[in-house]
Structure 1
Amino acid sequence: MWSTFFIAMALAAVFLYMPGFLALKALRVRSAVALCCAPVFSIVGYAVVTAVLPSLGVFATWQTVFLPCLAAGIVAAAIVRFVPWFSSWNPTRLGVADMGRSFRKAMNEEWFSIALYVLAGLAVVGLVFVKNLDGPDSFLQAWDNSHHLSSIRAFVESGNFSMLTTTSYATALDRSFTPWQGESMFYPSAWHCLGALVVSASGATVSMAANAVNAVVVGIVLPLSTFVLMERLFEGRRGIVRCGAFVSLAFATFPWGFLTFGPLYPNLLSYAILPVVAVLFMGIFDDGVGARVRIVRAALFVVGIVSLACAQPNAVFSAAVLLAPFCVVRAARFARFLPWHAAHPRACRIGLAAVAVAGIAAIWWALFNAPFLQDVIWFDWPAKEGEAQAIANIALLSFSYAPAQLLLSALVLIGTACSLVDGRYRWFACSFLLACAICYVDLAHDGFIKHLLAGFWYTDQLRTGSTAALLAAPMAALGLRHAVHFVARGLDRAVESVGGKPTPYVSAVLVLALSVTAVFFPSYVIPGHHKVETAFGDIRNRVEDQNSVSKMNYLDASEKEFVRQVEQIVPDDQPIINSPDDGSIFLYGYEGVRTYYRYLTGYSPESNESEDSAAIRQGLYRIAEDERVRQAVESIGAEYVLVLDQGKDQDLGSDMERRRFVLKDDIDNELWSGIRAIDDATPGFETVLSEGDMRLYRIVV
């Protein structure tokens, strides 16, 4: 199975990089830059193709989705390469530095840095994530993952990968019994599309494909995207750029929080490509660039925004946080074109900067009041910390999610201080501090201001904290470079003082290796004293615990085996009535079992739930005496009922919260009272399979 997993990883990388790379080569972008930026354009290509295929009646597979995008890229690249009219085009460069005094040397250094980022990324994701999976197809049994796995399954089975009509009841058979008629809708599904492509091409299970896509996004996409941003910020400073390879995955909150909470896989993809989209925007305003190149870059930036919206739209607002100070600085620079600039240069710069701030605020306010965003903006995650603790958690890079990262926080502090005193980087330090301010309000406060600043991220502290963590990476790289240089020089002086010969390169590598080891070090015990829990020790433990197939869980090993027996009995074309909060919510996505209920919430007349569904949920146990219930069951063609956790919550033992999604927030146990009340003596039901508290009943009325 592991061989299939690594094949799936390779395919995920090909799907993400090949079409976008060819498209950018058609614009004569340098190969290294085209490679790093490729996922942004591949995502949009897939979004367009998958939106068109259903209207053409074409069943989506990896061939019908990937190959058209690949062919379009090949044709475009060939036209630009061989048609004379295009031979005068200049490379757009996308605003990324050429890195060097000679082009050949720049290319060599650039590819070396790319290899360094990829190797470091794959090493970290292998040790922290892949190594701690309990098998390549293990998965986190959490709320959001029921949707993620079901969406991939629905894409593959229905042959419709379009994010415009997403639903867990996508096939014609599933639509015949769905609890919601016409409930398909737009959902940002770029991540799910990639998972479906991998399943289609490799034959991997849905959960294995999800793990493979996540490993590629964390181990390759995010590092290379970070590299592009580092190149832009620290143009010509090779040491800082290379230090970035060791800190792009060093923050426990992001990307690792998105793998272990939620899980927030679509947001993981959107944040991973965000730095590239930001660089596309910055390149529009480069000095000495012709109008044609600016237009091309502006068009590519629009494509980048579309790609963020296809993955997870809140990343657009994270990009706005990153770019707002840049826009203010650029606006101030335009003051030199004002006729009265010579007489009042400072006033002109301040005035235009103020206009830019006002414009950004006006756009933010307009979007805050946009009707289509209100459900997101006013979703409420209550404050988690007091004001002082929130400041401490942000300063120590905990963000109230992971243990403090003391060394990394010191590096970020050094880098931020250096950036604030260096005019070249000051604007980005302001971006990072702005993200921290939003996270602080989100962590420590409730009310209108919180929703105004953090509402675009659902007021979810992990998402706002992850924005800050993403923007902290360049600060950490700058701080690491200064720290390595300072300590290495101290070591060389110490060697000289005792008559030795200094070796600057060896000293720098040694200090860098020790620093990186300290950042990623697992938890450990000081014998005779206490356990030291490190951030990455905590993340590794979470990944291992959440993916364990042997521990008690919503859907544990015994239940999976029971379900496999159920599949041998129930015909494939029949829905199985279930209570999704007993773990069966994962069965469709994970095993392909045709369960009737595939969501935990949303069951009400206001949500367009069918009357048949409501009758089954509330009164199935009365089927022998209630004609309305019998009609509802007959209408969906169901003959079997699956129960994985029979009995009341208090009868399930101390692990009940891991065996059933119990009453919390808006999940109401009464939703499934008609199914939960069924037992072996209930009239109208025949016990077909029985093991422990698991049952398969046949309806016999």
Structure 2
Amino acid sequence: MAELPSWVTAAPLLMAAIGWFLLPGLLVAYAAGLRGVAAWGTAPVISVGSAAVGAIAAGWLGIQWGGWPALAPALALAVIAGVTRRALRKRYARASGDPWPVATAAAAGMAVALGIGVITAAGGMGSVGTVSQTYDATFHYNTIARILMIGDASSLVVGTLNVPASALSFYPAAWHSLVSLVVITTGATIPVASNIVAVTVGSVVWPLACLVLVRQMVGPSWLAAFATPIVAVGFIAYPWSLMTFGVLWPNLLGLSLVPIGLAAVISIAGLPQHGPLTRLKAAILVPVVAVTLGLAHPNTLISLAVLSMPAAAWWFGHWVRSRLLNGQALLAAVASMTVAATAAAVGVGLLTSPLFDSVRAFDWPAFVSPAGAVGEVMLWATNGKSAAWAMAGVVLVGLTAAWRRPDLRWIVPAHAISGALYVLAASLETPIAAAVTGFWYNDSYRLAAMLPITGVPLAVLGLTAIGTAVHGQWSRLTTSPPEPAVVGALATAVLVIASSGMYARDHAEFLDDAYRVTEPPFELLSPDEAAFFEIVRADSDPTAVVAQNPWSGSPLLWALTGQQVLFPHLDGEWTSDQRFLADHLRDAATDGRVCPVADKLGVRYLLVGNLDFWPWDSRINQYPGLTRPENGFRMVASDTSGNFLYELTACGGDAAGSPPNND
């Protein structure tokens, strides 16, 4: 096997991933007049949207997926923004960036956050190319492998991976588009590129998005600019849990961008106007965010809508009050009834729409009492994790500070809504709880991941409040106490120390559960299997398809070697031909129906391995025709770990045609 790069030697790959997330969006942001934190913080949502929309357009036009299709929408937006801004230059003031202390502090905080993120990932993943040993990893890895094979990364097509009978099947593919771009432009393997992009999202994109939100809330504070990125990597619920559970990479990407949308919403609502996002710029940004979130993962768009409700309610309440004070009571009453009726209709429609039936069908059992779930929210110990006492204390101070400021008070109910949704999913088995949390698959992990979206600014507000309070006490003892921001920076340093580097060790141990599994019954891919896959690559025709029981971890043969497999995921809506071979391939020598089907699907090999991933799952028994054959096959390779590769000989040398095209 080829030696995997270390985290040090993978630095150019990390820079390439960061480039794809930032550079296309920066072109648009600067053309639109944004500078400083606003430009850099909003760049990822534009870049991701450009790649996802470009992939759909390229697929529709029959253009091979790659760098130019991903850049094209951003380039078009940059031209439009630049021309429009130039035409209106007399009406709008010249763009200005952040004061240099703010910009410097933000850069320093980002550097610390990236360092903590890489250290955490290295400690949890081990090698930069370690494979995620999770159920959904097979789908995500092979989706990227298929993109590279057919040259189509459209969200309208990638879902056909495990629904091959459909010409179109929507699946939000922004994540896969970005990972495939890293593979195409750097030559990295799919697991390496996936891990690099995950670290980029958690340690660069997410902190930058939080910077935009906090900058809009508190203004040009160098303390907030420094503390925000560091605090952002300190919550286990996000980003680290979504790198482990599932694995939920599309959700990871989508949620990392929600703070940008929330910053735009509070700007439109007329809440703190300290940031560079004016109402006009925010109004233009909102649809970009909406499209991007929909193509990253639709439930993150719903997350944004839910978190925006308190800010929208604040704005509407302020508007109604002003109408009443101006003697327009009838207008206020009609508007209130209209809004209430519309909100009720939308809510009922969403809760009952058949479009969400497949999502609501998921049922994750409750695992804690309601009181226990509330305690987990307060202590940042969701899903049974260890309590983060230092972070919990800082956030509690931030909640108090936010409530005392009318322009920041909206974040308290927004945080409470996130907490309530988690409590419903984690502790209650009722129809109401299932209906309300159904948009997130009734999944406590996805709902817990929403909490840091409000938790980060609350923690920053807490650090700021601590700095102000300590400064006040200090000033009683001396005539020249340090500035509150300096004290707040010291409080940030204390938080980092008290949390042992923002809980980096705890987060790494949690990542380790998904990446370096040591219990064989839970292994998706063992070192022996990975080594055998290299033998398969060397001893088989790369144009042929390999049939296999996917519960042996064999779907990863495609992602790791480029050799296409018959069943690319652990479960799917397989065609009747695939199901027939799953039942009868080993009978090729005696069943005359097998060879025509094998020829149609391009199957020439049978891979048999140990069924050691979730061996208790009944779906493991749905492939009786893919066990070790007796006649009609020639053994090509085997090892001492129970892996065997057979060539189908009963159908003749030309039995296999070209690989199937399932798009």
TM-score in terms of structure 2 length: 0.88
Query: Following TM superposition, by how much is the alpha carbon of 1:319 offset from its aligned partner in structure 2, in angstroms?
Result: 0.8
Report deviation, 1:348.
9.9
Match of 1:60 among 47, 59, 65: 65
1:97 is aligned to none
Q: Which runs of 5+ in 2 are unaligned?
A: 651-663
1:610 to 575, 589, 595: 575
For the residues of structure 2 that align with 1:567 and 1:40, how far apart are their CA atoms? Answer: 38
Deviation for aligned residue 1:438: 1.2
2:236 is matched by which residue type in structure 1? Answer: A
Aligned with 1:587 (options 557, 560, 569): 557
Tell me which residue corresponds to 1:298.
Answer: 283
- Quick one: distance in 2 between partners of 1:10 and 1:513? 27
| Alignment match, 1:542 | 510
The structural deviation recorded for 1:563 is 1.5
Say if 1:121 and 1:219, in contact at 8 Å, map to a contact too: yes
Note the C-alpha offset of 1:293. 7.2
Letter in 2 for 1:88: K
SS at match of 1:45: helix
Q: Pick which of 429-438 and 295-304 moved more.
A: 295-304
2:196 and 2:167 map into 1 onto residues whose CA distance is 30
Evaluate the alpha carbon distance shift between residue 119 and residue 351 of structure 1 in structure 2; reply closer, same or farther with a 3 A threshold.
farther
What are the superposed Cα offsets for residues 395-445 of structure 1, whole Å, 9 maximum, x if unpaired? 211112421111211222221123223322211111001111111111111
Q: Does 1:690 align with 2:650?
A: no
Q: What's the offset of the Cα at 1:49?
A: 2.2
Contact 2:605 2:645 in 1 (8 A): yes
| Aligned equivalent of 1:181 | 165
Q: How far off its partner does 1:146 sit?
A: 0.9
Greater relative contact order structure (CA < 8 Å, 6+ sep): 2
Alignment map for 1:41-52 (pairs within 5 Å): 41-52=46-57
Q: Deviations over 1:633-674 (max 9, x none)?
A: 2332322211121xxx6xxxxxxxxx323233xx52221122
- In the alignment, structure 1 residue 316 sits paired with structure 2 residue 327: no
Structure 1 residue 671 corresponds to structure 2 residue 619: no
CA displacement at 1:510 relative to structure 2: 4.2
1:154 partnered with 2:146: yes
Q: CA deviation at 1:294?
A: 4.9
Q: 1:624 to 1:384 in 2, by over 3 A?
A: same
1:413 aligns with 2:413: no
Whole-angstrom distance in 2 between the partners of 1:336 and 1:389: 39
* 8 Å Cα contact 2:134/2:247 also seen in 1: yes
Q: More displaced, 484-493 or 66-75?
A: 484-493
* TM-superposed deviation, 1:479: 1.8
Distance 1:6 1:550 in 2: 28
Q: Is 1:141 matched up with 2:133? A: yes
Measure how far apart 1:579 and its partner are. Answer: 0.8
Gaps of 5+ in 1: 94-102, 170-177, 523-534, 650-658
Quick check: 1:480 aligned with 2:480? no
- Counterpart of 1:656 in structure 2 is none
**Aligned equivalent of 1:329, options 306, 310, 314:** 314
Contact 1:28 1:89 in 2 (8 A): no
Change (3 A) 1:250 1:569: same
What's the CA shift for 1:450? 1.0
Counterparts in 2 of 1:405 and 1:352: CA distance versus 1, 3 Å: farther
Query: Root-mean-square deviation (CA), in Å?
Result: 3.1
State the secondary structure of the residue aligned to 1:639.
Answer: strand
Task: Summarize the Cα distance change of 1:368–1:506 in structure 2 as closer, same or farther, 3 Å threshold.
Answer: closer
The 1:308–1:394 alpha-carbon spacing in structure 2 relative to 1, beyond 3 Å, is same
Offset at 1:684?
A: 2.5
Indicate whether 1:601 and 2:571 are aligned.
Answer: yes
Provide the secondary structure at the position in 2 that maps to 1:247: helix
Q: 2:144 is matched by which residue type in structure 1?
A: I
Deviates more, 1:372-381 or 1:193-202: 372-381
- Aligned partner of 2:604: which letter? E
- Counterpart of 1:557 in structure 2 is 527
Q: Cα deviations across residues 556-595 of structure 1 (Å, max 9, x unaligned)?
A: 1111111211111110111111111001122212322211
SS at match of 2:635: strand
Residues 1:634 and 2:599 aligned together: yes
CA distance in 1, matches of 2:409, 2:106: 26
Structure 1 counterpart SS, 2:116? helix
2:345 matched to 1:362? yes
Which region of structure 1 is more displaced relative to structure 2, 536-545 or 572-581? 536-545
Which residue number in structure 2 is paired with residue 662 of structure 1? 615
Cα distance change of structure 1 residues 11 and 567 upon mapping to structure 2, 3 Å threshold: same
DSSP-derived class of the 1:627 partner: coil
Q: Deviations over 1:230-261 (max 9, x none)?
A: 11222355544543233111111111100111
1:175 paired residue number: none
Report whether the alignment pairs 1:72 with 2:37: no
Q: Provide the rounded CA distance (Å) in 1 between the counterparts of 2:34 and 2:487.
A: 37
Asked whether the equivalents of residues 612 and 629 of structure 1 are also in contact (C-alpha less than 8 Å), the reply is: no
Corresponding residue number in structure 2 for 1:578: 548
Cα distance, 1:357–1:231 mapped onto 2, change above 3 Å: farther
For residue 452 of structure 2, what is the aligned residue in structure 1?
Answer: 469
User: In percent, how many aligned pairs have the same letter?
Assistant: 24
Q: Distance in 1 between matches of 2:632 and 2:284?
A: 64
Equivalent positions of 1:64-463 (< 5 A) are 64-69=68-73, 71-72=75-76, 75-76=79-80, 79=83, 85-90=87-92, 106-167=98-159, 180-182=164-166, 184-235=168-219, 238-286=222-270, 294=279, 297-338=282-323, 340-341=324-325, 356=339, 359-463=342-446
Distance in 2 separating the partners of 1:625 and 1:288: 76
What secondary structure does 2:10 align onto? helix
Tell whether 2:498 aligns with 1:518: yes
Task: Return the letter of the residue paired with 2:440.
Answer: W
Indicate if the aligned counterparts of 1:328 and 1:353 stay in contact, CA closer than 8 A. Answer: no
| Preserved contact between residue 274 and residue 315 of structure 1 (Cα < 8 Å) | yes
- Closer, same or farther in 2 for the Cα pair 1:126/1:492, shift >3 Å? farther
Instruction: Say if 2:254 and 2:293, in contact at 8 Å, map to a contact too.
Output: yes
Q: Kindly indicate whether the alpha-carbon contact (under 8 Å) linking 1:257 and 1:401 is maintained by their aligned counterparts in 2.
A: no
Q: Aligned letter for 1:190?
A: A
Cα deviation 1:266-314 (Å, max 9, x = unaligned): 111111111111222232343999xx97565423211211111010111
Deviations 1:433-486 (A, max 9, x none): 111111111111112211232111111001111112322111122222333444
Equivalent pair of 2:50/2:72 in contact (CA under 8 Å): no
Shift of 1:343: 6.9
Structure 1's 167 and 570: CA in aligned 2 closer, same or farther, altered over 3 A? Answer: farther
Instruction: State the match for 1:174 in structure 2.
Output: none
Shift of 1:315: 0.8
What is the DSSP-based 3-state SS (H/G/I as helix, E as strand, rest coil) of the residue aligned with 2:644? strand
Whether the 8 Å contact between 1:29 and 1:91 is mirrored in structure 2 is no
Cα distance in 1 for residues equivalent to 2:221 and 2:530: 54
Write the distance in 1 (CA, Å) between the matches of 2:280 and 2:297. 26
- On the 8 A contact 2:27/2:74 being kept in 1, the answer is yes
- Cα contact 1:259–1:265 (8 A) shared by 2: yes
Identify the residue that residue 5 of structure 1 maps to in structure 2: 10
What number of residue pairs does the alignment pair up?
638
Aligned-pair CA distance for 1:157: 2.0
TM-score normalised by structure 1 residue count = 0.84
Write the distance in 2 (CA, Å) between the matches of 1:16 and 1:594: 29
